Structure 1
Protein backbone atom coordinates (compact mmCIF):
# COMPACT_ATOMS: atom_id res chain seq x y z
CA UNK A 1 0.00 0.00 0.00
CA UNK A 2 2.86 2.37 0.70
CA UNK A 3 3.91 1.99 -2.94
CA UNK A 4 0.57 3.40 -4.04
CA UNK A 5 0.81 6.31 -1.63
CA UNK A 6 4.37 7.13 -2.71
CA UNK A 7 3.24 7.67 -6.32
CA UNK A 8 0.39 10.03 -5.49
CA UNK A 9 0.70 13.80 -5.39
CA UNK A 10 0.39 15.17 -1.86
CA UNK A 11 -3.20 15.54 -0.73
CA UNK A 12 -4.57 13.11 -3.31
CA UNK A 13 -7.30 10.71 -2.22
CA UNK A 14 -8.53 7.92 -4.48
CA UNK A 15 -11.45 5.49 -4.25
CA UNK A 16 -10.82 1.95 -3.08
CA UNK A 17 -12.60 -1.34 -3.77
CA UNK A 18 -12.30 -4.34 -1.46
CA UNK A 19 -12.68 -7.39 -3.72
CA UNK A 20 -13.81 -10.67 -2.14
CA UNK A 21 -12.73 -13.56 -4.37
CA UNK A 22 -14.71 -16.70 -5.06
CA UNK A 23 -14.40 -19.96 -3.16
CA UNK A 24 -11.59 -21.14 -5.44
CA UNK A 25 -9.34 -18.28 -4.30
CA UNK A 26 -7.44 -15.57 -6.13
CA UNK A 27 -7.56 -16.22 -9.85
CA UNK A 28 -7.60 -14.52 -13.25
CA UNK A 29 -11.01 -12.97 -12.52
CA UNK A 30 -9.47 -10.97 -9.69
CA UNK A 31 -6.74 -9.70 -12.00
CA UNK A 32 -9.27 -8.78 -14.69
CA UNK A 33 -11.48 -6.87 -12.26
CA UNK A 34 -8.50 -5.18 -10.61
CA UNK A 35 -7.15 -4.05 -13.99
CA UNK A 36 -10.53 -2.71 -15.11
CA UNK A 37 -11.05 -0.86 -11.84
CA UNK A 38 -7.50 0.51 -11.83
CA UNK A 39 -8.05 1.92 -15.32
CA UNK A 40 -11.17 3.61 -13.94
CA UNK A 41 -9.13 5.24 -11.15
CA UNK A 42 -9.71 2.84 -8.26
CA UNK A 43 -7.28 1.00 -6.05
CA UNK A 44 -8.25 -2.62 -5.41
CA UNK A 45 -7.53 -4.64 -2.29
CA UNK A 46 -8.20 -8.37 -2.61
CA UNK A 47 -7.65 -10.25 0.65
CA UNK A 48 -6.47 -13.82 0.05
CA UNK A 49 -8.62 -15.89 2.37
CA UNK A 50 -6.42 -18.93 1.80
CA UNK A 51 -3.41 -17.14 3.28
CA UNK A 52 -4.72 -17.82 6.79
CA UNK A 53 -3.48 -20.94 8.53
CA UNK A 54 -6.04 -23.70 8.80
CA UNK A 55 -8.36 -22.30 6.12
CA UNK A 56 -10.15 -25.22 4.55
CA UNK A 57 -11.35 -25.34 0.97
CA UNK A 58 -15.11 -24.86 0.82
CA UNK A 59 -15.71 -25.77 -2.82
CA UNK A 60 -14.28 -28.27 -5.23
CA UNK A 61 -14.38 -26.34 -8.50
CA UNK A 62 -17.00 -28.69 -9.94
CA UNK A 63 -19.87 -27.41 -7.80
CA UNK A 64 -21.27 -24.10 -8.99
CA UNK A 65 -22.93 -23.22 -5.69
CA UNK A 66 -21.47 -25.25 -2.84
CA UNK A 67 -23.40 -25.91 0.33
CA UNK A 68 -23.42 -22.86 2.55
CA UNK A 69 -20.78 -22.96 5.26
CA UNK A 70 -21.52 -20.35 7.96
CA UNK A 71 -18.03 -20.67 9.46
CA UNK A 72 -16.31 -19.91 6.18
CA UNK A 73 -18.70 -17.05 5.42
CA UNK A 74 -18.04 -15.53 8.86
CA UNK A 75 -14.29 -15.83 8.29
CA UNK A 76 -14.61 -14.18 4.89
CA UNK A 77 -16.65 -11.32 6.36
CA UNK A 78 -14.01 -10.79 9.04
CA UNK A 79 -11.44 -10.37 6.26
CA UNK A 80 -13.58 -7.74 4.59
CA UNK A 81 -14.09 -5.93 7.91
CA UNK A 82 -10.33 -5.93 8.49
CA UNK A 83 -9.60 -4.61 4.99
CA UNK A 84 -12.16 -1.82 5.40
CA UNK A 85 -10.76 -0.91 8.83
CA UNK A 86 -7.25 -0.72 7.39
CA UNK A 87 -8.47 1.39 4.46
CA UNK A 88 -10.10 3.79 6.92
CA UNK A 89 -6.64 4.55 8.34
CA UNK A 90 -5.05 5.42 4.99
CA UNK A 91 -4.95 9.13 4.24
CA UNK A 92 -4.75 8.54 0.48
CA UNK A 93 -8.05 6.63 0.39
CA UNK A 94 -11.13 8.72 -0.39
CA UNK A 95 -13.13 7.71 2.66
CA UNK A 96 -16.51 8.35 1.07
CA UNK A 97 -15.55 6.08 -1.83
CA UNK A 98 -14.79 2.69 -0.31
CA UNK A 99 -16.80 -0.04 -2.00
CA UNK A 100 -17.17 -3.80 -1.77
CA UNK A 101 -17.21 -6.17 -4.73
CA UNK A 102 -17.45 -9.93 -4.59
CA UNK A 103 -17.59 -12.89 -6.92
CA UNK A 104 -19.16 -16.29 -6.26
CA UNK A 105 -18.74 -17.02 -2.54
CA UNK A 106 -17.22 -13.56 -2.13
CA UNK A 107 -20.38 -12.11 -3.66
CA UNK A 108 -22.49 -13.94 -1.08
CA UNK A 109 -20.31 -12.50 1.67
CA UNK A 110 -20.49 -8.97 0.25
CA UNK A 111 -24.27 -9.21 -0.19
CA UNK A 112 -24.68 -10.24 3.44
CA UNK A 113 -22.03 -7.87 4.83
CA UNK A 114 -23.06 -6.53 8.23
CA UNK A 115 -19.91 -4.64 9.13
CA UNK A 116 -19.39 -0.91 9.49
CA UNK A 117 -20.82 1.11 6.61
CA UNK A 118 -18.66 1.51 3.53
Structure 2
Protein backbone atom coordinates (compact mmCIF):
# COMPACT_ATOMS: atom_id res chain seq x y z
CA UNK A 1 0.00 0.00 0.00
CA UNK A 2 2.88 2.36 0.72
CA UNK A 3 4.16 1.85 -2.82
CA UNK A 4 0.77 2.97 -4.18
CA UNK A 5 0.80 6.05 -1.96
CA UNK A 6 4.32 6.91 -3.09
CA UNK A 7 3.33 6.41 -6.72
CA UNK A 8 0.22 8.57 -6.29
CA UNK A 9 2.26 11.34 -4.65
CA UNK A 10 4.80 11.19 -7.44
CA UNK A 11 2.07 11.35 -10.10
CA UNK A 12 0.34 14.25 -8.32
CA UNK A 13 3.62 16.13 -8.09
CA UNK A 14 4.31 15.56 -11.79
CA UNK A 15 0.83 16.75 -12.78
CA UNK A 16 1.19 19.86 -10.61
CA UNK A 17 4.62 20.66 -12.03
CA UNK A 18 3.34 20.13 -15.57
CA UNK A 19 0.37 22.41 -14.92
CA UNK A 20 2.57 25.12 -13.42
CA UNK A 21 5.00 24.92 -16.32
CA UNK A 22 2.17 25.17 -18.83
CA UNK A 23 0.62 28.14 -17.02
CA UNK A 24 3.93 29.96 -16.68
CA UNK A 25 4.68 29.35 -20.37
CA UNK A 26 1.33 30.84 -21.30
CA UNK A 27 1.93 33.80 -19.00
CA UNK A 28 5.36 34.47 -20.50
CA UNK A 29 4.04 34.06 -24.03
CA UNK A 30 1.34 36.64 -23.37
CA UNK A 31 3.81 39.23 -22.03
CA UNK A 32 3.64 41.42 -25.14
CA UNK A 33 0.86 40.44 -27.46
CA UNK A 34 -1.74 42.01 -29.71
CA UNK A 35 -5.24 40.56 -29.48
CA UNK A 36 -7.92 41.37 -32.02
CA UNK A 37 -11.57 41.08 -31.07
CA UNK A 38 -14.75 42.23 -32.74
CA UNK A 39 -14.75 45.31 -30.51
CA UNK A 40 -11.18 46.60 -30.65
CA UNK A 41 -7.47 45.83 -30.77
CA UNK A 42 -5.60 45.80 -27.47
CA UNK A 43 -1.83 45.68 -27.00
CA UNK A 44 -0.48 44.28 -23.74
CA UNK A 45 2.84 46.05 -23.33
CA UNK A 46 3.80 45.00 -19.79
CA UNK A 47 2.98 42.39 -17.18
CA UNK A 48 -0.20 43.08 -15.17
CA UNK A 49 0.41 44.72 -11.79
CA UNK A 50 -3.13 44.41 -10.36
CA UNK A 51 -4.76 40.99 -10.75
CA UNK A 52 -8.19 39.85 -9.59
CA UNK A 53 -8.84 36.10 -9.45
CA UNK A 54 -12.41 34.79 -9.48
CA UNK A 55 -11.36 31.15 -9.36
CA UNK A 56 -9.91 29.32 -6.37
CA UNK A 57 -7.86 27.08 -8.66
CA UNK A 58 -6.40 30.02 -10.54
CA UNK A 59 -5.68 31.87 -7.29
CA UNK A 60 -3.59 28.92 -6.14
CA UNK A 61 -1.75 28.82 -9.48
CA UNK A 62 -1.08 32.58 -9.45
CA UNK A 63 0.57 32.28 -6.04
CA UNK A 64 2.48 29.15 -7.12
CA UNK A 65 4.03 30.89 -10.14
CA UNK A 66 5.08 33.90 -8.07
CA UNK A 67 2.35 36.35 -9.07
CA UNK A 68 0.85 36.52 -5.56
CA UNK A 69 2.12 40.04 -4.94
CA UNK A 70 0.10 41.29 -7.92
CA UNK A 71 -3.16 39.68 -6.73
CA UNK A 72 -5.26 42.49 -5.22
CA UNK A 73 -8.59 40.67 -4.77
CA UNK A 74 -9.94 37.13 -4.94
CA UNK A 75 -13.34 35.49 -4.79
CA UNK A 76 -14.78 34.27 -1.49
CA UNK A 77 -13.89 30.63 -2.30
CA UNK A 78 -10.14 31.31 -2.61
CA UNK A 79 -8.68 30.23 0.72
CA UNK A 80 -5.51 28.43 -0.37
CA UNK A 81 -2.56 28.95 -0.21
CA UNK A 82 -2.34 30.60 3.18
CA UNK A 83 -0.77 33.69 1.58
CA UNK A 84 -4.10 34.41 -0.12
CA UNK A 85 -5.72 34.94 3.29
CA UNK A 86 -4.42 38.51 3.39
CA UNK A 87 -6.04 39.36 0.05
CA UNK A 88 -9.48 40.97 -0.08
CA UNK A 89 -12.28 38.44 -0.62
CA UNK A 90 -15.43 40.47 -1.10
CA UNK A 91 -16.06 39.25 -4.65
CA UNK A 92 -18.47 36.48 -5.59
CA UNK A 93 -17.21 34.08 -8.26
CA UNK A 94 -20.61 32.71 -9.17
CA UNK A 95 -22.36 36.08 -9.32
CA UNK A 96 -19.61 38.52 -10.31
CA UNK A 97 -20.48 42.20 -10.13
CA UNK A 98 -18.93 44.33 -12.85
CA UNK A 99 -19.11 47.36 -10.56
CA UNK A 100 -17.28 45.56 -7.73
CA UNK A 101 -14.57 44.32 -10.07
CA UNK A 102 -13.98 47.64 -11.85
CA UNK A 103 -13.78 49.47 -8.52
CA UNK A 104 -10.38 47.79 -8.03
CA UNK A 105 -9.15 49.07 -11.43
CA UNK A 106 -7.46 45.73 -12.26
CA UNK A 107 -5.04 45.14 -15.13
CA UNK A 108 -6.16 41.51 -15.41
CA UNK A 109 -9.20 39.54 -14.24
CA UNK A 110 -8.79 35.75 -14.14
CA UNK A 111 -11.99 33.70 -14.25
CA UNK A 112 -12.81 30.01 -14.31
CA UNK A 113 -13.90 28.25 -17.48
CA UNK A 114 -17.49 28.06 -16.29
CA UNK A 115 -17.91 31.76 -17.16
CA UNK A 116 -16.97 31.33 -20.82
- Could you say whether these structures have the same fold, taking a TM-score greater than 0.5 normalized by the shorter chain as the test? no
Structure with greater helix share of residues: 2
TM-score by length of 2: 0.27
Bigger-Rg structure (1/2): 2
Judging by fraction of residues, say which structure has more strand: 2
